[in-house]
Structure 1
């Protein structure tokens, strides 16, 4: 009752400045038993929201209570107009702060991990994905406006000081750069060239972190997107293909030679690395058929062989319309997969045992897709 009264007062206080904006209250649901003796307290789930509708939102699952809470950010930050903004594209945690990349709103929302309260906003145009290294944050940017354009400008990677939250350096890379990995003093970023269709980019750009200059490009394949780094210094980078005749695929780069050493012939939309296992799924759309082909799998990075074509083993995968996000708890090995449904209605989050059996399922936000685990 006290919580309801307090939130009601906040609504009244901010009504004048918010005008017809609505502050949404969170709602919670117990989905599992509390878990003790783990370093992982829970995770944030960033829901993208439909473009142009300012529907990005933030959920939180608490392992210590077993409670899943939806739309936490807007309740914790009623003073923030339009809450998280337009299209949540990535979320990462570094130190005591979380960083949510809000693509079409052109900023990174920084909030306190423990309280979910706003800390600062970092302006970066058409920002996409983040990585962290030695006190610095790195974010990829399409640079220009959201538009298909054969003359779309070249993208960049910006460096941010995590102490001051100020941009310190910037380097031009390729067209419409996506995910980033960092290894041995070098930053690798996958360039898609998606705005220049059908003239896609096909390079991974390599940046020397000391000088913050691009030192080379690695020719891989068209329309690159996801990147993961294994224990042996190999980068797995996905190509989305052209949705017509060039199929999506997965390639391997050796960071010692900075050369492509394998074409795995595996379609990948999203992937996550836990130990020596690369968990992935694919939603491969074809303009020829007008259909999506959905697949799942686990790759052993020691052999670079697919050891299973099933992540879900109890038939629940048949209920998932559009898998859109994946994460694996590195301690419990629980597997989390989100379902964007038809991209318009509310999505779902599924939790599976390491053996692929459903543990729990609950509703998330609109287009749920990006995870960040919170450690004690």
Structure 2
């Protein structure tokens, strides 16, 4: 419909202009004191990370309410901050009421007040950042690939000033990290090692041998560290980029004192990814060959039957009730996620944004 314009007398126009200015001032005052969101850290909120299209700054975070069973906002960052979040939303860390959103291709981390989702600071100068972990009080580690085929690093972020104070050289293409027993374990995905950093000194104290392609790590209820190694596939450098070599995936129960004594459970091929734990840390979950598998931490062999026969772009386990969240991500158009009972039975599904890859519970 075309807009309708009506002519007012001069006095009326001056009155309306003055009234409008007062109204705008009133609205501005309300905006300063009344945020759009006032979220409680009660486990009822789920942040869905949407990568967005590579090369464009349309990555976003969807806000899902478990209470109302609905997606509240598919552009939460833009709604609150009136600007783009960035290019390739990779991951997100929660520390108390602060969020650290890693935006890979924008080479930055957005620091967020999670109650309001207002941006607090932007940490720049990173090179292909991947994941973040709380390493110590006032300190967050951020894994960085830096450059394909080259040595990766871990950036040390001072959360009091939101500045990078140091970088620590690790292996090639560092991915997931785990804080366990006072040390930070870093999975170097383009080789077969795990770097061990002392967060008190920010120094690598050991490099542990594992299998090819470690990507994610967890610590179970007994204190044992599990490492999922996805294998490594090498491709030719010219079209049609043929596979030159490929190694299988392995799940490792790591012996940090004597790595050679670790329990190694081999897969038949590569591609296993996203190692997860349930709330009691007694069950392991991972993605492999278009399905999600579940395995007891006391098992001595890999499961042969999947829990969910569905290919996900990303998935996670809700620590409140072990509900499984899995994302479906067509490379064009709207993505969605499906929720499953711990038994693997589907509950419901919801549309989100482009390329949803992860879930953060708050």
Is the TM value for this pair above 0.5?
A: yes
Bigger drift between 221-230 and 106-115 goes to 221-230
Residue of structure 1 in register with 2:220 after alignment: 230
Q: TM-score scaled by structure 1?
A: 0.75
Determine the structure 2 residue equivalent to 1:250. 251
Q: Which runs of 4+ in 1 moved over 6 A?
A: none
CA drift at 1:162: 2.0
How far did 1:67 drift?
2.1
Paired residue for 2:103?
102
Stretches of structure 1 lacking an aligned partner (at least 5 in a row): 1-8, 14-37, 194-200, 283-292
Q: CA deviation at 1:280?
A: 1.4
- 2-structure distance, mates of 1:235, 1:260: 13
Structure-2 change in CA distance of 1:55 and 1:249 (3 Å):
farther
Could you tell me which residue of structure 2 aligns to residue 75 of structure 1?
79
Give the counterpart of 1:325 among 314, 327, 348.
Answer: 314
Q: CA deviation at 1:360?
A: 0.8
CA contact (8 A) 1:300 1:306 kept: no
2: CA distance between counterparts of 1:325 and 1:167?
29
User: Which stretch shows the higher mean deviation, 301-310 or 107-116?
Assistant: 301-310
Which residue number corresponds to residue 112 of structure 2? 111
> Which residue is 2:131 aligned to?
129
Map of 1:169 onto structure 2: 166
Distance 2:133 2:193 in 1: 19
Q: What residue ranges of structure 2 are gaps of 5+ in the alignment?
A: 1-19, 25-40, 234-244
Task: Indicate if the aligned counterparts of 2:136 and 2:199 stay in contact, CA closer than 8 A.
Answer: no
Q: Deviations over 1:131-166 (max 9, x none)?
A: 11332211111123xxx5xxx431111221222222
| Residue of structure 1 in register with 2:286 after alignment | 280
Pair 190,84 (structure 1): closer, same or farther in 2 beyond 3 Å: same
**Partner Cα separation in structure 2 for residue 260 and residue 324 of structure 1:** 33
**3-state secondary structure, aligned to 1:365:** coil
Q: Deviations over 1:202-260 (max 9, x none)?
A: 11111122221112211112222122222223222222223454122222212344556
RMSD: 2.3
TM-score, normalisation: structure 2:
0.78
* TM-superposed deviation, 1:68: 1.2
- Residue of structure 2 equivalent to 1:356: 344
Count of aligned residue pairs for this structure pair: 305
Counterpart in the other structure of 1:285: none
* Rg larger in structure: 2
| Pair 1:308–1:97, CA change in 2 (3 A) | farther
What residue number does 1:155 align with?
A: 152
Measured against aligned partners, the alpha-carbon deviations of 1:188-210 in whole angstroms (never above 9, x if no partner) come to 101123xxxxxxx2111111222
Measure how far apart 1:46 and its partner are: 0.7
Contact 1:299 1:308 in 2 (8 A): no
Residue deviations 1:280-309 (CA, integer Å, cap 9, x gap): 112xxxxxxxxxx31321111133544673
Give 2:295's match in structure 1, choosing from 289, 295, 299. Answer: 299
Counterpart in the other structure of 1:263: 264
**Residue 77 of structure 2: SS of its match in structure 1?**
helix
Report the 3-state secondary structure (helix = DSSP H, G, I; strand = E; otherwise coil) of the residue aligned with 1:163: coil
Look up the match of 2:354: 366
Bigger shift: residues 362-371 or 38-47: 38-47
Note the C-alpha offset of 1:272.
1.3
Is 1:336 equivalent to 2:325 in the alignment?
yes
